[in-house]
Amino acid sequence: MRRILSVLLENEPGALSRIVGLFSQRGYNIETLTVAPTDDPTLSRLTVTTVGDDRVIEQITKQVNKLVDVLKVSDITDGDHIERELMMVKVKADTTALRDELKRLSDIFRGLVVDVTPTTYVIQLVGTSAKLDAFIEALRSEAEIIEVARSGVTGLSRGEKSLRF
């Protein structure tokens, strides 16, 4: 099962490497990882997507929680939540027909063309990972993909539930 873990940790050098190290040391998977300071600059919020059965996820959660720099861990996939990932795709766009088609496709997915040159487009898309995957699939049959940058998943629980210190 794919899980999204949110982690609140001290915004200090070394804290991130402890988490990443823990995953590799104990043989856990990291599918995506994002991290940035929160509204309180002394804290960072990290989101990691991983796969494992309930037992493995329970161990990961407990092990991460045990790290001295970590304040809180929550598996947001446990309840209703919102997840988003940001992607930028650079595609070949060197004919009018192709440019029209790419614009149309991007509109269907609610993407934005954020950079234009005579031969390329950069399309920005925000959504769930599945939506991003679907967009890439759709693009592939229309145009030549030059490069892709994805941010990794981040997310929040819906409603009152929150991860705060």
**Length reported for the chain:** 165
Residue 18 beta carbon to another protein: minimum distance, rounded to whole angstroms:
7
Contact between 136 and 150 under an 8 Å Cβ cutoff? The reply is no
Q: Among residues 30, 33, 71, 88, which is the contact residue for another protein, using CB under 8 A?
A: 71
From 48, 45, 136, select the one nearest 87 (Cα to Cα). Answer: 136
The verdict on 19 binding another protein (CB under 8 A) reads no
Query: Of 55, 51, 71, which Cα lies nearest the Cα of 129?
Result: 51
Q: Are residues 5 and 47 in contact, defined by beta-carbon separation less than 8 angstroms? A: yes
Q: Which stretch binds another protein (CB under 8 A): 57-65, 80-88, 97-105, 122-130?
A: 57-65
Binding to another protein by residue 53, rule CB under 8 A?
A: no
The stretch near another protein (CB under 8 A) out of 10-18, 94-102, 109-117, 134-142 is 10-18
> Min. distance of Cβ 132 from another protein in angstroms?
33
Closer CB to another protein, residue 19 or residue 139? Answer: 19
CA–CA separation, 66 vs 52, rounded Å?
Answer: 19
Span near another protein by CB under 8 A; candidates 6-14, 80-88, 101-109, 149-157: 6-14
2 touching another protein, by CB under 8 A: no
Contacts of another protein in 22-41 (CB under 8 A): 25
CA gap 65, 7 in Å, rounded: 8
Alpha helices in 26-151 (DSSP H): 54-66, 96-108, 129-140
Per DSSP, 108 falls in state: H
Q: Which residues bind another protein (CB under 8 A)?
A: 9-10, 13-14, 17-18, 21, 25, 55, 58-59, 62-63, 65-66, 68-71, 165
